[in-house]
Structure 1
Amino acid sequence: MRGADAKPVTRIRPEIQALRALAVVGTITFHTWPGYIPGGDAGVDVFFVVSGFLITGMLVREVDRTGGISFRRFYGRRIRRLLPAAYVVIAFSAVMTLTFVPRIQWGYFFHEMLAAALGVENWSELANSQSTDAVLRHLPPTPVLHYWSLGVEEQFYLVWPALILLIVWLVRRSRRRGSGFRTQLRWVFGVVAVASFIDCVLATSANVNLGYFATNARAWELAVGGLLALTPGLGRLPMRARILFGWAGLLAILGTYFFTWDQQHFPGWYALFPVLGAVAVIAAGTPQSAWSPSYLAQWAPIQAFGDASYSIYLWHWPIIFLFPFVSGSPTPWWGVLLLIALGIGVGFVSKRWIEDPLRSGARSREGTGVRLHLHPTAHADAGKATAEQGSPGNPTSAAG
């Protein structure tokens, strides 16, 4: 293997695993007790920032190493990482629907399962909410409602590598000196973030579902994560600043969870709190200080929960949602607790026996694939590749 193609060793970042854990806990509690955690669905916003940060960092470092991006390798990883577990949960939901759900609801449920399998559940939910048909506008949830956020992320994966490669190509073509592709990426991501945020605020004001489900209204959260990945000097922040950022970010996210009572105007500008909170936590890293929240973040159960957050996210909702169809009656509070525990347990099993074998087994067989190469001058002034930022590709959406 050539040195340019050598892959760096992945370094797990504890603060990112902790953010994933915090995001999925917020989502689960919102889905079960929205009256107590009215803003728990902001866990989705946290997942989007994390995904933008990790995916951008991974792609930019690949350009640094090789001068291009292997689309086959990138999409192969995303498919192996996301789709097997997602499709198993869809299959489980389909079997449970055929077994326990009244036949009159089959058509709608299976329509949404197809949308989830195709990665467009967010647009399907938005289309239903915007329909002129009153019945469609007031349809109940389905076992795959939470796949809307996976749809947003999958659409992001379709665009982001090509956008980065396009900017690198344009920089090479213009042969501008003193301005590397990272600088140009910051400008482009900044424009995307500002335009999408304005769109999110305006869309939410006009129709909360438009601001909530539309990919264009959510793109700014992923772009902010991308901007963070391109920000130099994060590891050189003073200790006091890192401690302050860690606590401020944590409080911003928790504050959103507990005090976002106005769901008719979320995300809108309210989403700045969880997004900037996630940015602050990532920027803080894990300072080794007794005054830092990083000691809590590095606690083994939190790390394990964050590592399995994707599978937990996939399984928790269909288990909670479908159980009343099985039992024939509403679930009591203690039953909800048992179902949450079951969903978490199944999530860990899914990670161990579905996610991990496919991901690790494919690494040894992974080839270079079809790589689009650019002339070395396109990235010669990019500077050193940063240290590996974490396990790429854990979505987030584990949320929503």
Structure 2
Amino acid sequence: LSFVRKLEAGRPLALGRYWLHVFKRLLPLAVLTILGTLVLVAAVYPGSDAGQWRSEALASVFYAENWALALSAVDYYAADHSTASPFQHFWSLSVQGQVFLLWPLIFAAAWLLTRRGTRRPVPVLVAMFGTVFLASLAWSVHSTATQQEFAYFDTRTRLWEFALGSLLALALPYLRPPRTARVALGWLGLLSMVSVGVLVDVQGAFPGWIALWPLLSAAAIIVAGRTGSPFGLDRILASAPLVRLGDSAYALYLLHWPVLITYLVLRDRPMAGPRSGVVIILVSLVLAVLATRLVEDRVKAWAWPERSRLRL
């Protein structure tokens, strides 16, 4: 929506500065996690291939880990997680990083199409993101049916998910459901989201059309928004503890996987049990909060790089 406002006001998109800001926010914690994981690998992973881990670390820091895993024929749903890469979870962040690079180029194309004032930005963007949505979803359905392991990591099978979010963002200013409907949407979205893991064969179905289920569930919660009702889901989601947890969500995603894999390697187990799983979650939470406060928050507040584009 910030890009839409710039397009509508005729202001420069400043893509270079946007990219610098995005990766200034994302890279510090990612690099910290990657370096810490390499230290763990060298210290406790028996007979590990140092060259493989270094190449995966580089693929992760350059947001290409999803392609490295796809081309290595990795099975994301392998039963024995102790043999998984401690960098495997960077596949998702790699896709996101690629979208952070690609999406501004779509806005730049929209600027070219609207700069003469004969077309409005929102309809042009709806057409562009709608095209991405349909093309990527069609490829996702086909690729999931024919080569699911590769499709899971393929950026092309995932772009429609981001395009759906972009279309939702474009539609939100025009959606005005009554408060009762928004309260119902919030709870239905949450129940639908939770039910995915219970009712759907995620292992064999994703990322094809079935991924619409959790995405539309999330969309329902977003459309519900802040209802102001004592019965609204937002009363829980906007509570102080969950907001603070949300502040550390990025660090939690980065850190939970190497903590889990390192535990499995040390204990020589294929997966964590209920008790060890709870401990791993708690350890990951503590590390995430510390990393957010000591690294992410301080980098955000670091004013020196903001004084010129060269410094940034």
Which residue does the alignment assign to 1:116?
Answer: 60
Which residue does the alignment assign to 1:140?
Answer: 83
Residue identity in the other structure for 1:68? P
Aligned length: 304
- Give unmatched runs, 5+ long, in structure 1: 1-56, 132-137, 371-400
Alpha-carbon distance, 1:203 to partner: 0.8
Alpha-carbon distance, 1:369 to partner: 5.1
Which structure has more relative contact order (CA 8 Å, sep 6+)? It is 1
Q: Can you list the C-alpha shifts for 1:292-319, whole angstroms capped at 9, x where unaligned?
A: 2111112221111112100001011101
Which residue does the alignment assign to 1:311?
Answer: 251
TM-score (normalizing by structure 1): 0.71
Which residue does the alignment assign to 1:69?
Answer: 13
Which residue does the alignment assign to 2:300?
Answer: 359
Q: Tell me if the contact between 1:201 and 1:211 (Cα under 8 Å) persists in the aligned partners.
A: no
SS in structure 1 at match of 2:89: helix
Structure 1 Cα separation of the partners of residues 225 and 174 of structure 2: 9
The 1:359/1:254 distance shift into structure 2, 3 A limit, reads: same
Percent identity of paired positions between Structure 1 and Structure 2: 31
Alpha-carbon distance, 1:116 to partner: 0.8
Structure 2 Cα separation of the partners of residues 294 and 288 of structure 1: 8
Q: Can you list the C-alpha shifts for 1:212-243, whole angstroms capped at 9, x where unaligned?
A: 11111100111111111111545632112211
Q: Which runs of 4+ in 1 moved over 6 A?
A: none
Structure 2 Cα separation of the partners of residues 336 and 217 of structure 1: 31
Residue identity in the other structure for 2:90? Y
- Aligned Cα root-mean-square deviation (Å): 2.4
- Give unmatched runs, 5+ long, in structure 2: 76-80
Structure 2 Cα separation of the partners of residues 111 and 289 of structure 1: 51
Q: Tell me if the contact between 1:200 and 1:218 (Cα under 8 Å) persists in the aligned partners.
A: yes
Alpha-carbon distance, 1:184 to partner: 0.4
Structure 1 Cα separation of the partners of residues 179 and 99 of structure 2: 34
Query: Equivalent of 2:106, from 163, 172, 176?
Result: 163
Structure 2 Cα separation of the partners of residues 356 and 281 of structure 1: 27
Which residue does the alignment assign to 1:346?
Answer: 287
Which residue does the alignment assign to 2:178?
Answer: 238
Q: How does 1:153-232 map to 2 (within 5 A)?
A: 153-173=96-116, 175-176=117-118, 179-231=119-171
SS in structure 2 at match of 1:291: coil
Q: Tell me if the contact between 1:77 and 1:359 (Cα under 8 Å) persists in the aligned partners.
A: no
Q: Tell me if the contact between 1:84 and 1:355 (Cα under 8 Å) persists in the aligned partners.
A: yes
TM-score (normalizing by structure 2): 0.90
Structure 2 Cα separation of the partners of residues 354 and 130 of structure 1: 32
The 1:368/1:198 distance shift into structure 2, 3 A limit, reads: farther
Q: Tell me if the contact between 2:66 and 2:95 (Cα under 8 Å) persists in the aligned partners.
A: yes
Structure 1 Cα separation of the partners of residues 225 and 72 of structure 2: 41
Q: Tell me if the contact between 2:25 and 2:300 (Cα under 8 Å) persists in the aligned partners.
A: yes
Structure 2 Cα separation of the partners of residues 329 and 85 of structure 1: 28
Structure 1 Cα separation of the partners of residues 6 and 86 of structure 2: 37
Residue identity in the other structure for 1:169? L
1:79 has 2:46 as partner: no
Alpha-carbon distance, 1:276 to partner: 0.7
SS in structure 2 at match of 1:325: helix
